[in-house]
Structure formats: C-alpha cells, structure tokens
Amino acid sequence: MNNSRMKIIDSDVHPWVNGDIEGLKPYMSKSWQMRFEGKRAILPDHPLRPPLAGATSIRRDTTPPSGGAGGSDPYFMREDHLDPHGIEYAILSSIQAGKLVSLPNTGEAITLARAFNDYFRDKWLDVDSRYRLAMCVAVHDPVEAAKEIRRIGGEQSIVAVYMPLINVLMGNRHYYPIYEAAEELGLPILIHPTGTEGAFQTSVAFAGGVPSSYIERHSCFPQIAMGNIASLLFEGVFVRFPKLKFLAAEFGFSWVPHMLWRVDQNWRQFRREVPWLEQEPSRYVLDHVRFTSQPLEEPEKDEYLIQILEMVHAERTILFSTDYPHWDTDYPETTFQRLPQAMKQRIFYDNAAELFGLNAAV
Amino acid sequence: MEHNVGRLEDIPNTDALIVDIEGRPIGVFKRGDKVYAVKNLCPHKRAPLARGTVEGTMLPTACVGEFKYGMENQVVKCPWHGWEFDLETGKCLFGVSDSKIKTYPVSVRDGQVYVDV
C-alpha cells in the first residue's frame, strides 16, 4: 500500500511557545512572573547551533502566516502537517520545554514545566482532537513531578510523560516517584534530546568530552539513549515497574541490535551483579522500550535497513515519526517505502496506538 | 572406571588438583567435606575451568536492589568470563546458558579419592 493511504500516528511533533518564558507568564502566578522578570530568565540555546538559516533547527517553510516560530500555531500545523500527510494523531512533545533542564533552580523548572503543560492544554488540545500531549515534568524534583502527572495525566488528551533528562541516569531511584505516577496512570515515559546536552552543568553530558560542532553533538545523541536504557535495565526499573513503557524519541535505532547483544553477553558473565533480572536483558528492553524512526538511518544498502528492523523486532518496537517542524523531517510519503505491508502497519500505526492507548480517531 | 587421584588431604583447599585421566584433563575440587571432579574445560570458550574459583553466588531475587548470597562452595566460576556452573549438576546457573560442564562421580574411601571416568 502507498504510504499516503495508510493510517498514521506521528510520534514526534514539536509545538513552540512564542516569546520564550514571556509567552508562558499567563500560565504562572504573579509572584513567579515577577521572579522571572527580575532575573531576565530565558530558556537558553545550546551554543553549537545548526548551520542552517537562522541557526535554528526549525524549518523556515513551517513559519505560520500569523508570524512567530514554526510549530507555534496549532491551526497552521493542522493545515501544513496533519491534513496533507494524513496524520491521525500527532504526539506533541515540547523540546523548548526540554530546555528547562539547563536551569539549576528546581522551583523555576517546576513552574515552567507546569506552565508549558497548561499552555498546550489551553492553546492546542482543543483545536483538534488529533493533537495529543506528552506532558512535561521537571525531573529536578520527582515528588513534584509526580504531583504534576497526577494533576493532569488522567486527561484523555495526555498520552505520555516527557522527561527532559538531567545528568542522572534514568535507572536511579531518584526517579521512582515519577515512574510510580506514570505507571499508575498508564502513561509511557518519553525521552528525547533536549538540545542542551553538553552545554550546561545540569544537562546530560556527552560521553568522553565536549563536542565542538553541531554535526558532532547531533551525531552523538544515541549515546544518551544507550546509557539511559542500560541504566533502566540493570538498575531494575523494568522489574520494579513491570507495566511501565518507555519511548526513546529521535535517538535512532540502528545501534539497538548491538546493545541487545551486548547486554545479553554481559549478563552471562556478570548476572550476579543484578540478580533481580530473571531473563535475558534484551527481553526486558524489547518488552519495555520503543524507538521512533526519525531521523531514519540510511545504510549503505537498502537491505541493511530491513535487516536492522528485523534485528530490533520493529513490528513491536519502532514508531513512525516526522519530527515536524525540524530540519530533518521524515515524511510518510518518502519513508519506509519498501517495507513488508504488515511491518508498515505496525510502524506507522499499531505500535504507537498500543503505546499511547489510542484508538481510531472519532 | 574408577581412578585413584591421590589422598584426600593432598587435594588443595583453595585451588583444584588438576590431573589427566585417560587423556582427559580433569580438575578435582575439595570444599569442606565435598569433593567434585569436573572436566577442565569451560564449554563457553574452552578455558581451563579448573583454574577458576569455587564459591557461592548471588541467588535470583524478586526484589530490585536486594542481594541474597547462597550455594556456598557449590559453584565453579570460570577464570575467563566468570560463567558459573553448579558443581552438583554441571548446569550453567539460572538459565544464563543451556551449556553444561562435564562432571564425574567422586568417592572417598580410606582417605583415598576416586574419580569415575
């Protein structure tokens, strides 16, 4: 079947709030407004910018006629993205909100996460029922983050918890309150590069040192997912929270076969360090972790991609995504064109529908 | 057929006594009042298993973060990758692998140790 006629869930779409923190002020108390005003706080950009127009990752052609940044107008996104590409659901995660991990101040991060959530609930989710939100939490304070999950996570339009990561690996018990709340509400945890990696002391550090260009840091994003999945696995989060699922968005997946084999190999020799794992570690990963497709890797030969998809059990684990409105958008019409139909159905729709608890759009 | 491999008191308490019986390399371990004989070959990468250690291991635990040490003196651990085998059954522990080590029956009579090959 032609991809343009398939039902599609896009698991990685990025809305934007014009005006940075200023644009969020209607969604915070007067006291917090004045607190941010008083220090001229901003959500800072990584200094290694993409060498693209405007040195931004947002495509120029997604700029709405109303003005503002690409991704900031839910009506234009509907017209520019959902309708022409037959997107039945778009999972919104705010990478702009992800930048709050650059802030060392816990109170500010909590306030901003809540304001982002309320902004999108107010401005986006009622515009079109195809929009579904991965609500943001400030992991600086997991108890407060859990309260935020319980405050709004039961709403039908909220389908995941986006955890912008600080430099503490995800298996750490620090995060348990977040996992408890997410599991209780049946919400998967979504992780995504925040764009702050390696640039701020509270943000995730890259392995080995500090990249020196955008191409270098962008190439290294998979490291972050690899380290965090190993942490989740061996620290026993998948055992401790058996119903909890995770989505690694925009970290690629061609490295996953390597990781599956390596964790199994290591388990055979070092099982006694993690006696709570009762089966091969790769099985936990395949049961609990999902990956988005974009930016789809382009191996030397087309058949290699099929082989990699088989190795990662793509019929269970891979979710189609566009990353609209960013520069490296993968559109359905030009992505995964040569896959077996059954695998396409799983990747373009079923895997996401199961993960996010989505049925056919009304 | 039983082969006398020496006096019980001559088998080391820490390392293995390594012997050759009918061309088979065999390690004889003594731990407490138990004596075990195994083929000196790890099925994983053909390492000299008898150069490994005999100790206990961490038993499977249902609770994350909990450790429960057990099988004291019943587990041989390969000197290379640390694969663990049950000296009583020869099985690789806890489903890590289907491979087994070759074990031989041992008897002790009048202070002499016999390995049945």
Residue A361, pLDDT score: 45
Find the radius of gyration of the CA atoms of chain A: 20
Residue B14, pLDDT score: 86
Three-state SS for A259?
helix
Phi-psi category of residue A4: left, alpha or beta, with phi > 0 → left and psi -120 to 50 → alpha: alpha
**C-beta neighbour count of A74 within 10 angstroms:** 21
Confidence band, pLDDT 50/70/90 cuts, at residue B94: confident
Is the ipTM of this structure higher than 0.85? yes
Does A271 contact chain B (CB < 8 Å)? yes
Query: Is B115 within the bounds of a domain?
Result: no
Q: How far is CA A218 from the centre of its chain?
A: 15
Domain around B13: 2-109
CA distance A321 to A292: 6
CA distance A39 to A26: 18
CA distance B106 to A228: 48
Evaluate whether A250 touches A192 at the Cβ level (below 8 Å). yes
State whether B58 and A236 contact (CB < 8 Å). Answer: no
Residue A40, pLDDT score: 83
Place of tokens 């500090």: A210
Q: Which CATH superfamily is domain A3-356 in?
A: Metal-dependent hydrolases (3.20.20.140)
Give the domain CATH number at B14. 2.102.10.10
Does B93 contact chain A (CB < 8 Å)? yes
Place of tokens 């989060």: A237
CA distance A20 to A26: 12
CB-CB: which of B58, B68, B97 is closest to A268? B97
The Cβ-side half-sphere exposure at A4, using a 13 Å CA radius, reads 6
Domain extents in chain A: 3-356
CA distance A275 to chain B (A): 5
Nearest residue on chain A to B63, judged by CA atoms? A276
B17 is written with which tokens?
Answer: 């006594």
Domain count, chain B: 1
Residue A1, pLDDT score: 61
Residue A359, pLDDT score: 76
Report whether pLDDT(B91) > 80: yes
State whether B96 and A236 contact (CB < 8 Å). Answer: no
State whether B62 and A275 contact (CB < 8 Å). Answer: no
Three-state SS for A206?
coil
CA distances in angstroms from A232 to A93, A226, A259, A289, A295, listed in the order given:
22, 10, 13, 10, 24
Residues 240-269 of A with CB under 8 A from B: 240, 267-269
Chain B residues with CB-CB distance to A279 below 8 A: 95
Nearest residue on chain A to B99, judged by CA atoms? A268
CB-CB: which of B58, B82, B83 is closest to A275? B58
A119 is written with which tokens?
Answer: 């902004």
Three-state SS for A201?
coil
Does A239 contact chain B (CB < 8 Å)? yes
Evaluate whether A118 touches A27 at the Cβ level (below 8 Å). yes
Q: Where are the alpha helices (DSSP H) in A45-198?
A: 74-77, 83-85, 95-98, 106-123, 142-152, 176-185
Evaluate whether A156 touches A149 at the Cβ level (below 8 Å). no
CA distance A71 to A59: 9
Chain B residues with CB-CB distance to A233 below 8 A: none
Query: Is B45 within the bounds of a domain?
Result: yes
CB-CB: which of A240, A268, A269 is closest to B64? A240
Task: Write the burial class of residue A106 (CB in 10 Å: 0-12 exposed, 13-18 middle, 19+ buried).
Answer: middle
Does B94 contact chain A (CB < 8 Å)? yes
DSSP string, A308-334: HHHHTTHHHHEE----TTBTT---GGG
Query: What does the pLDDT profile of chain A (362 residues) look like in tens digits?
Result: 667 678 999 999 999 999 999 999 999 999 999 999 988 889 999 999 999 989 999 999 999 998 999 999 999 999 999 999 999 999 999 999 999 999 999 999 999 999 999 999 999 999 999 999 999 999 999 999 999 999 999 999 999 999 999 999 999 999 999 999 999 999 999 999 999 999 999 999 999 999 999 999 999 999 999 999 999 999 999 999 999 999 999 999 999 999 999 999 999 999 999 999 999 999 999 999 999 999 999 999 999 999 999 999 999 999 999 999 999 999 999 999 889 999 999 999 999 999 999 975 44
